Amino acid sequence: MVISPRVKGFICITAHPDGCRENVRRQIEYVEKNGKMENSPKNVLIIGASTGYGLASRIALAFGGGANTLGIMFEKSATATRTATPGYYNTEAFEAFAKEKGLYAETINGDAFSVECKEKTIQKIREDLGKVDMVIYSLAAPRRTTPDGQTYTSVLKPVGEAFTNLSWNAKDNSLTTVTLEPANEEEIAATVKVMGGEDWMDWIEALHTADVLSEDAVTVAYSYIGPELTYPIYKDGTIGRAKKNLKECSDRMNEKYQGQGIRSYVSVNKAVVTQASAAIPVVPLYFMILYKVMKEKHLHEGCIEQMDRLFRRKLSGSQVEQDNGGFIRMDDWELREDVQAAVMDAWNRITTTELSEIADVDGYWEDFYHMFGFHFDNVDYDRDVPLV
C-alpha cells in the first residue's frame, strides 16, 4: 500500500518504514559527526528503546561509544491492512545499521512491567553479553499490570485544584482555553504506580540478584520538570508526583547498593515533541513557543542532541554533573533566565492570528510527523510498500 499519515487527535495511526529508517539514519549521522565518546559503557540495556529519548540513547551509545545494546520495546508488527508502529520500524532500522557497523544490537519485544520480560532479558544478557554496565530506564507507558494482576492507568491531571490556561487545537490551528479538573487520590496513586520508580527498582533488583550487572554499573531514568507555566500539569500534577517518586526510588537504590558499585541517577531532560507530550493540553503550545525562542538563540535540541550531550558531557564514566538536588540537568538551556523570559513574553502576547509569528508551529509539526516516519524530503512516499 501507499502509506500516508493518518492523524487522529494527538496521534498518527500510521507509520512509514522508509521514513522511520531515515529518522534513525539522521540521528546516527549526527552522533558520528561528533566523533567517538570517551568512557562510554560497553554493554547497555535500554528499557523503552524504540522511540524518543530511549531510542536516542541507544543510538548515541552505540554509534558514539561503540556500545553493545539490548533493547526492550512493546511494539506491534504490521498486518495485511495496518502498518507497524513507528517504534517497530525504528528498531528494525537501528538493528540493521548497527549490524552493518559490527555492533551487537538485539531487542526483546514484550511488556517491560512483567516478570516474564525481566526473566527473558536476564537470560539474554547471560547468553550474549555476560553482564551490562549501564541500564537506561525510559518507559512512557499509559498503564501497568503488576505481578499480582492489578492494572493501573495513569492520568495527566493537576492535583488539588483545577487548572485553566491557553491551549492549542491541532485540528484548526486555533487557540482555546481549557480547564483540567484535579485528580482524585486513586488517580494520583495509579499514576505513581505507572510512571514512578517502582518498576525501575524491580528491574535493578532482578538484574542485581541474577548477577548480570557489572562492577560500577550505572542506571539512569529520565524525567521532566519544566517551567513554572506548566507546573500545575507537570511538577505539581499527577505526573510530577510520579517523577518525585522516581527520584525517591533513585535515592533509595543509591542507599541500598552503596558499596556494591551500582550508581543511580535521574536526568531531567528538555521539552521535546513525543507521543506522550503531544497528548497533554497546554504543553504543545508551550513547546511551540519554546522551540522558536531556543532556535533563535541557537540553543534548540531534539532527543538525539540531548542524549549525545548527556553521555559526552554530563554522564561520562565517573564524571557526573549534578545540581544541588542530585539531578542531572539536561533542561539547563530550556530554563535559562533569558529563554524563559522570552517564552513568557510571547505567551502573554499570543493570539490566533499571531501564532505562526510567535510560535514555531511548523517546527512542532515537523517533529510530530518525523516521529512516525513522514515529511522527510528524501523519502519516496508514493512508493507501494509491502506491509507483510
Angle at 373 between CA 380 and CA 378, to 5 degrees: 35
User: Do the Cβ atoms of 184 and 228 come closer than 8 Å?
Assistant: no
| Separation of alpha carbons 185 and 200, rounded Å | 23
- Cα 322 to Cα 215, 231, 318, distances in angstroms: 22, 22, 12
Question: Where does residue 271 fall: left (phi above 0), alpha (psi -120 to 50 degrees), or beta otherwise?
Answer: beta
- pTM (predicted TM-score): 0.95
Tell me: is residue 302 an annotated ligand-binding position. no
In 3D space, the residue among 197, 213, 231, 173 whose CA is nearest the CA of residue 7 turns out to be 173
Tell me: is residue 65 an annotated ligand-binding position. no
Strands (E), the chain: 7-8, 11-12, 43-47, 68-73, 105-109, 132-137, 143-145, 151-153, 163-169, 174-180, 213-223, 263-268, 315-316, 319-320, 328-329
For residue 337, the tally of other CB atoms under 10 A from its CB is: 7
| Separation of alpha carbons 219 and 224, rounded Å | 17
Tell me: is residue 111 an annotated ligand-binding position. yes
Tell me: is residue 61 an annotated ligand-binding position. no
Q: Which residues have a catalytic role annotated? A: 234
Tell me: is residue 102 an annotated ligand-binding position. no
Question: Looking at residue 13, what DSSP letter applies?
Answer: S
Taking the chain (388 residues) in runs of 10, the rounded mean pLDDT of each run is 89 95 98 94 97 97 97 96 97 98 97 97 98 96 93 94 88 85 96 97 97 95 93 92 97 93 95 80 90 96 96 88 95 96 92 81 93 96 92
* Alpha carbon 137 to its chain's center: 9
* Alpha carbon 258 to its chain's center: 28
Tell me: is residue 52 an annotated ligand-binding position. yes
| Separation of alpha carbons 66 and 79, rounded Å | 34
Tell me: is residue 113 an annotated ligand-binding position. no
Cell 510527523 appears where?
Answer: 369
Tell me if residue 121 falls in helix, strand or coil. helix
